[in-house]
Structure 1
Amino acid sequence: MEERRERLISAAYNLYARNGFPDTTIEKLCAAARISNRAFYECFSGREELMQVVYDRCVRDNLVAVSRAVEQAPNTLLGRIEAGVAAYIEFVTEDPRRARILHLEVRRAGDCLTTSRQEAVAGFTQIIETGLLQTPEAADTDPHLLVLGMIGALQELLIEWVLADPPPPLDRLIGTAVHIYRRSLTA
């Protein structure tokens, strides 16, 4: 059962990123995973649950990468901003399927992923608040609102990277995001 479940997760990772969530049917998922529709329902209640598992796995791995980068960064506001933003963008763009799932298909999946998205934002908010806002430069900010705005800006930059043809170069994307974070925290 676990092996079939992993095959479905792998198929979903590929198909949701390539075809989009709305155009990926259970039949297509089953064909790609080489299992029956009955076996699908032994593993997942529907496409939405499968999308949530794929999304949550991407978020979990990204949180680990960003946390590690911020912890290892120089203990300065700029050092932590650069490390955290670069780690996030590099992790997401390392595999374009991941970027598409995390920043585009999660929205196309609709309300079924609202809670997962909120939990992901809360996880990244915590990293930013504890890793960046604990510096003297950021002492007079409203942490929650400021961080939500910065996360939103980064998400829009990554949607642009996913949809643009050609996508902006990663160094420009990282530089722009670092600029937004630095200005937001030191203005």
Structure 2
Amino acid sequence: MSASGDPAGRRIRGLDAEQRRDQRRRQLLDAALELFAAQGYANTSIEQLCQHAYVGTKGFYEIFDSREACYVALLQDVTARLETVVTGRLREAPTEARQGERLLVAAFAHALVDDPRLALVTFGQAGAVSPAVERQRRTNRRWAAGFVEQVWQHYRALGSGHPIRTDLDPHRVAIGLVGGMFDLVADWLLDADPTDQDQVVSLVHDLQDFYEVVRTGVSTPSAY
């Protein structure tokens, strides 16, 4: 205990106060992923999140101001997971642009739908929840578009990729491309069985083909 009587420095089960807070935050995000995917944001209360996470209501409000803030943090967490996967794949990707880009699209798809909860909370539940959640969805989309631009620059530097036509803004093209891919995943979720590997493979092929059609259409002549 500190001189002021504050027990914040005390360790419980080997964890200090900050580590315990991080642990509670992780438990709440895991609970949010499970419950929002299973029963929807609107049907999940803070009390249910706390019960599922084994965290008291007071502990919840020490971390999040609201259920909405928890959802925004969950979307940020999902994006961080995706970023780890696709940036790792880019470092290992083949040097030929078409082959490498198709593999990256497949990695993106599998990172989402191999654990269907990630796709459900990102695309199936997040729409029209609140302005703050919609802002985070747009932020996630901008990150994805920025990554697409990074991929294009990567392959241009290797002498394999082809530039976007000079009359087009690459960032706007990337935003539209990512938006289309996200909508394909959202539409797939309406009727698909994510545990059916044939359906997952079909989604991956659809995403790859869509990416390639757009990429070809906006590239300089003779590209691809």
Return the TM-score normalized by structure 1. Answer: 0.90
CA distance in 2, matches of 1:81, 1:146: 16
Structure 2 partner of 1:162? 189
Structure 1 partner of 2:206? 176
Give runs of aligned pairs for residues 118-133 of structure 1, distance below 5 A. 118-132=138-152
| Alpha-carbon offset, residue 32 of structure 1 | 1.3
Amino acid at match of 1:118: R
Structure 2 partner of 1:70? 90
Once the two structures are overlaid, the 10-residue window that deviates more, 19-28 or 74-83, is 74-83
CA distance in 2, matches of 1:155, 1:75: 26
- Hey, which of these two has a bigger chunk of helix by percent? 1
Structure 2 partner of 1:97? 117
| Alpha-carbon offset, residue 108 of structure 1 | 4.2
Deviation string 1:76-109 (CA, Å, 9 cap, x unpaired) is: 3312321221010000011011110111222243
- Is structure 2 residue 41 aligned with structure 1 residue 41? no
- Is structure 2 residue 163 aligned with structure 1 residue 138? yes
CA distance in 2, matches of 1:166, 1:136: 35
Look up the SS of the partner of 2:127 in the other structure: helix
| Equivalent residue for 1:51, pick from 68, 71, 77 | 71
The RMSD of aligned alpha carbons is: 1.9
CA distance in 2, matches of 1:29, 1:72: 38
| Equivalent residue for 2:178, pick from 137, 140, 151 | 151
Instruction: Rate the CA distance shift 1:165–1:172 in 2: closer, same or farther, 3 A.
Output: closer
Amino acid at match of 1:146: V
CA distance in 1, matches of 2:26, 2:75: 14
| Alpha-carbon offset, residue 136 of structure 1 | 4.8
Structure 2 partner of 1:31? 51
Amino acid at match of 1:162: L
Larger relative CO (CA 8 A, sep 6+): 1 or 2?
1
Amino acid at match of 1:139: I
CA distance in 2, matches of 1:178, 1:3: 38
Return the TM-score normalized by structure 2. Answer: 0.76
Q: Percent of aligned pairs with the same residue?
A: 24
Amino acid at match of 1:114: E
Deviation string 1:136-184 (CA, Å, 9 cap, x unpaired) is: 5333143122212211121112112322144671221111111111111
Larger Rg computed on CA atoms: 2
Instruction: Rate the CA distance shift 1:144–1:95 in 2: closer, same or farther, 3 A.
Output: same
CA contact (8 A) 1:80 1:131 kept: no
Once the two structures are overlaid, the 10-residue window that deviates more, 54-63 or 137-146, is 137-146
| Alpha-carbon offset, residue 28 of structure 1 | 1.1
Once the two structures are overlaid, the 10-residue window that deviates more, 98-107 or 167-176, is 167-176
